[in-house]
Chain A
Amino acid sequence: MSPGMRGTPPRQAAQARSAPVFALVTLTLIGAALAAPWLAPQDPYDLANLLLDHARLSPLTRDEAGMLHLLGSDDQGRDVLSAILYGLRVSLGVASAGTTLALAAGLTAGLCAAWHGGRTDAMLMRLVDLQLSFPTILVALMLMAALGQGPDKVVIAIAVSQWAYYARTVRGSARVELQRDYIAAARGLALPTRRIVVRHLLPNCLAPVIVLATAQMAAAISLEATLSFLGLGVPVTRPSLGLLIANGAQYVFAGQYWMSLWPGVVLLATIVAIQQAGHWAGRKAAGGGASR
């Protein structure tokens, strides 16, 4: 899903006030994901913990071993709360790896286009335009079809379907920077290209891209969830939030909603929080004037 929020700078003071809340939620979720092994009542990755006799218990039920399943258990006997905490780890991990890779690729392409200009620029930007005219899901689907499944493949799919956003943004700001005096000065000193680009140009183009990356991170989480939901993502023994939802989906129809519902709620909270936190950071970075 493209994050292309093409809205005006939101003027609602309420939104500005709620922004730190989203940041806090984001941090909490990240913290929970990192601390999953200590927080989770069960280690869902240890298959020996999964008993079919404890499968599909509804929320707030105790299993025969006396363990309380706060959010119920899934079809394999996995504690849903534990699965969510570990799943969050997978979702965030895969999405941030994908985002980082996309960022790196986009930065390289964008700087390259801006620095060389001319033909290189035209070619790269044409490629960017072309890619952006296709929905990310389609690009990702094709990649998964070609590469096969696994978290590493999802990371690649995320990177390939998102690099273009970064490339465009970086190129834009790099072209502006290239007009500035300090670059001319650096060129005058006949510094090596690599040094000018890495030491001078790059740091000055970074701010808007980092902001973009925050928003894109939300899109990446959503993309990973969608791919896993379609059965083209992460392996079944280490489910992400998207796969948990998919696994539980068939029981939704039989009225056993909790296997899908709770992972979904957490997924949604994660996406919204990260996206909003990203926007907030974006507005701050843009000069803070927008939020009164």
Chain B
Amino acid sequence: MGYGALVRIAQSLLTLLAMSVLVFVAIYLIGNPIELLVPPQANQAEMARAAQALGLDQPLPVQYLHFLGQALKGDLGRSFTSNAPALTVIFERMPATLELALAAALIAVGLGIPLGLWSAFADGHPASRATLGLATLGFSMPTFWIALLLVMVFSVQLEWLPSGGRDASATLLGWRTSLASWQGLAHLAMPACSLALFKLALIIRVTYAATIDTLRLDHVRQARARGLSPARILWAHVLKNIGAPLLNVIGLEFGALVAFSVVTETVFAWPGMGRLLIDAINTLDRPVIVAYLLLTVVLFTLINLAVDIACLAIDPRLREARGR
């Protein structure tokens, strides 16, 4: 495990490096951020001075090495547009995104596992079939399309929920969050639901599949035949068996939730870091793009590690299998 973790970390560092080079070069090629950063009437000399102040007059490799040196010191540069440290800008937006992803994950897990279990126990029942069919549909729906449908129904037609924005005026344990007030929750409901749908469908299917497999095992069938109550079977057999695959899916998909929030945040004007990324792409705000990417890679690595460890913890068989 220790060795595996080290390899993982080394790999992630390499990825970070590769990603940073890629982004650096690519953004250098598409446009010159200086054009945007100086007042429109600036003359050549002023532009040159601004470029110098930002280090944009240096050759690309020099710029990159400089960046790398700073990055090792924990400084990813200042945003070209706001002049604030890029990491600060992202961290300021991160709570909104994490809150959204968390809410979506709760919805997906909270609804997905029971529905999946129930579908498996009631396999063949029309309602079970309908659930699975809907899950398949949920798989296919692009996130932004769900989001728009929700707006059409709940904001425009019924006028029940606000069509965008975030209300985090209330605090919970010193943290400003939309989870602490009805207003906040009303703003959160549609973005979270639309983001959750794909994961919900996935979790239903994974739970269903894993449960069905478990129920087919001989000793479980015997237990059922002996008249063991479904609750008992659920606790004694099913949950133990489906835990690991589910954790894997949930962990990995949490990362995907964060990534897909780019889309949801755009539709619902949710002020998170996904929206920030799109804005940064549009303004060629290189430090912010690079910082976002590096942060995401780190986040994903951490999630993967956490999932690995959690899986080992709940399923001893894996521990042996990986012991080599």
Q: Chain A interface residue count: which class?
A: 35 or more
A252 touching B148 in the complex, CB below 8 Å, given contacts A6-B205, A137-B260, A148-B30: yes
Q: Determine how close the nearest CB of chain A comes to the CB of B140; give it in whole angstroms.
A: 4
- In the complex, the answer to whether B262 meets A145 with C-beta atoms within 8 Å is no
Chain B CB within 8 A of A235 CB:
no
Checking B27, B213, B266, B293 against A8 with a beta-carbon cut-off of 8 angstroms, the contacting residue is: B213
Q: Chain B interface residue count: which class?
A: 35 or more
Q: How far is the CA of A7 from the CA of B289 in the complex (A)?
A: 36
Chain A CB within 8 A of B255 CB:
yes
Q: Mark A224-240, 1 if CB is under 8 A from B, else 0.
A: 01100110100000000
Chain B CB within 8 A of A267 CB:
yes
Q: How far is the CA of A218 from the CA of B136 in the complex (A)?
A: 13
Q: How far is the CA of A5 from the CA of B208 in the complex (A)?
A: 12
Chain A CB within 8 A of B98 CB:
no
Residues of B259-292 contacting chain A, CB below 8 A: 259-260, 262-263, 266-267, 277-278, 281, 289
Stretch at the interface among B71-79, B151-159, B185-193: B151-159
| Chain B contacts for A230, CB-based, 8 A | 262-263, 266, 278
Q: Determine how close the nearest CB of chain B comes to the CB of A121; give it in whole angstroms.
A: 16
Q: How far is the CA of A29 from the CA of B29 in the complex (A)?
A: 39
**B contacts, CB < 8 Å to A:** 11, 15, 19, 22-23, 26-27, 29-30, 123, 129, 132, 136-137, 139-145, 148-149, 151-152, 155-156, 163, 198, 205-206, 208-209, 212-213, 252, 255-256, 259-260, 262-263, 266-267, 277-278, 281, 289, 293, 296, 300, 304
Closest chain B residue, CB of each to CB of A221:
B142
| Chain B contacts for A268, CB-based, 8 A | 140-142, 145
Q: How far is the CA of A2 from the CA of B202 in the complex (A)?
A: 10
Interface SS of B by simple majority: helix
| Chain A contacts for B293, CB-based, 8 A | 142
Q: Determine how close the nearest CB of chain B comes to the CB of A235; give it in whole angstroms.
A: 16
A257 touching B22 in the complex, CB below 8 Å, given contacts A7-B209, A137-B262: no
Chain B CB within 8 A of A38 CB:
no
- In the complex, the answer to whether A261 meets B144 with C-beta atoms within 8 Å is no
- In the complex, the answer to whether B149 meets A264 with C-beta atoms within 8 Å is yes
A6 touching B209 in the complex, CB below 8 Å, given contacts A148-B30, A267-B142: yes
Q: Determine how close the nearest CB of chain B comes to the CB of A216; give it in whole angstroms.
A: 13
| Chain B contacts for A144, CB-based, 8 A | 281
Q: How far is the CA of A133 from the CA of B304 in the complex (A)?
A: 9
Closest chain B residue, CB of each to CB of A260:
B148
Q: Which of A133, A255, A260 has the most CB of B within 10 A?
A: A133
| Chain A contacts for B260, CB-based, 8 A | 135, 137
Chain B CB within 8 A of A195 CB:
no
- In the complex, the answer to whether A5 meets B205 with C-beta atoms within 8 Å is yes
Q: How far is the CA of A122 from the CA of B263 in the complex (A)?
A: 34
Q: How far is the CA of A144 from the CA of B26 in the complex (A)?
A: 10
Q: How far is the CA of A146 from the CA of B259 in the complex (A)?
A: 18
15 more contacts with CB within 8 A, not counting A1-B142, A275-B136, are A8-B212, A133-B304, A137-B262, A142-B22, A146-B27, A222-B140, A229-B266, A232-B281, A242-B142, A245-B145, A249-B148, A252-B151, A252-B156, A257-B156, A267-B145
Q: How far is the CA of A146 from the CA of B22 in the complex (A)?
A: 8
- In the complex, the answer to whether B205 meets A7 with C-beta atoms within 8 Å is yes
Checking A130, A135, A226 against B144 with a beta-carbon cut-off of 8 angstroms, the contacting residue is: A226
Chain B CB within 8 A of A185 CB:
no
Checking B137, B163, B263 against A226 with a beta-carbon cut-off of 8 angstroms, the contacting residue is: B263
| Chain A contacts for B256, CB-based, 8 A | 2, 135
Residues of A1-60 contacting chain B, CB below 8 A: 1-3, 5-8, 10-12, 14
- In the complex, the answer to whether B156 meets A5 with C-beta atoms within 8 Å is no
Q: Determine how close the nearest CB of chain B comes to the CB of A164; give it in whole angstroms.
A: 14
A145 touching B151 in the complex, CB below 8 Å, given contacts A14-B129, A222-B140: no
| Chain B contacts for A1, CB-based, 8 A | 139, 142-143, 198
Show 13 residue pairs from A and B whose CB-CB distance is below 8 angstroms, ordered by the A residue: A3-B139, A7-B206, A8-B212, A130-B11, A134-B259, A142-B23, A144-B281, A218-B140, A225-B144, A226-B263, A230-B278, A249-B267, A252-B156
Q: Determine how close the nearest CB of chain A comes to the CB of B34; give it in whole angstroms.
A: 18
- In the complex, the answer to whether A271 meets B140 with C-beta atoms within 8 Å is yes
Q: How far is the CA of A275 from the CA of B209 in the complex (A)?
A: 19
- In the complex, the answer to whether A275 meets B140 with C-beta atoms within 8 Å is yes
Chain B CB within 8 A of A62 CB:
no
